[in-house]
Amino acid sequence: MYSLLVSSSPWHPRRDTMPIDRMLSHSAEAAISRFKPLGGAVDLDALMKLPALFAEEYAPGAGQYARVGRITRAQVIGREVHIEYFFEQEIAPILMDDVFANAADLGIVIPRKGFHELSTTHWAVKDVDLFEMILTRLRPAGREQKVFRLPATPAVDRLQLSAMMPFQSFDAVYQAIKDAAEENGMRCDRADTVWATPAIIDDVANLIDRSSIVVIDCTGKNPNVYYELGLAHAWGKEVIMITQNSSDIPFDIQHLRHIRYLPNQEGLADLRTRLAERIRDLI
């Protein structure tokens, strides 16, 4: 069994809410009886033991993604259920188009006409093995790379943070990033601190691949950094963009939040503080 949580907006990385009157909507009678015995209160403790699929209200072709995760805390406050959770970093984001295409196998009912489960906010329980579905249909095991030498399956280290940035004259910036990571119990590396393969592109790709968080410094519109930014986004990493000049953020993603900093002592101290807060939110 698994919990299907659908929200009208993108999920917060760590915590969010669900209207209490949407609990167990679109669930089978057997699931309702199990998690809401005798028509009483919903058994949140029992629901927390299930894996969860966090999805958005579906818009075809919108490039939306669902995430697999675990709920660590749930409590009723007023007319809402407040939940805390984490996303499984070892499982890449799943395209919502794929979730919709495999809805029947996920226990999701999609009628031929009218509203359906993926078009409305709710928390349902489905009697389906979510991880089997991911391995066999949504995320087949194995991958073939033609450019990089990567493991056949991703092996994300939750404590690994990587910094993608220009090298020349950026040591003080890297130190601020490293300090922010270590403040949160994470390791920080950039490409020039790793020499595991003969080709630097393999070291860069493998560092991004195993990182749970990637900090990208877009200052100076460095083409190598832009390339690394694309890899991090494509591989579903938690990306934190920083820059000394907001105009250096690529046009297509200027709508995404970033941290602007000044390259002086006070500016780098502020960067460290803001990065540490953002990393704390993500982990």
Residue 110 has pLDDT above 90, yes or no: no
Domain ranges across the chain: 2-138, 157-282
- Say which residue the tokens 């167990």 belong to: 24
Give pLDDT, residue 103.
92
- Looking at per-residue pLDDT, the higher value among 114 and 245 belongs to 245
Amino acid at the residue 82: H
Residue 13 has pLDDT above 90, yes or no: no
What is the tens place of the pLDDT at every residue in 176-227?
A: 999 999 999 999 998 777 665 556 788 888 899 889 899 999 999 999 999 9
> What confidence tier does 52 reach under pLDDT thresholds 50, 70, 90?
very high
CATH of domain 157-282: 3.40.50.450
Cβ within 8 Å of residue 58, ≥6 positions away? 64, 96, 99, 100, 118, 119
Give pLDDT, residue 223.
92
Taking CA atoms, 1 is separated from 39, 52, 141, 151, 155, in Å, by: 20, 9, 21, 30, 25
Dist CA 257 CA 253 (whole Å): 9
Give pLDDT, residue 143.
58
Residue 235 has pLDDT above 90, yes or no: no
| Most confident segment among 161-170, 248-257, 259-268 | 259-268
Give pLDDT, residue 3.
96
Mean pLDDT score of the chain, rounded to an integer? 88
Give pLDDT, residue 112.
77
Give pLDDT, residue 82.
97
Look at residues 226, 209, 206, 210 and name the one whose alpha carbon lies nearest to residue 218: 226
Dist CA 65 CA 93 (whole Å): 6
What is the tens place of the pLDDT at every residue in 124-166?
A: 999 999 988 887 767 655 556 677 777 766 678 889 999 998 8
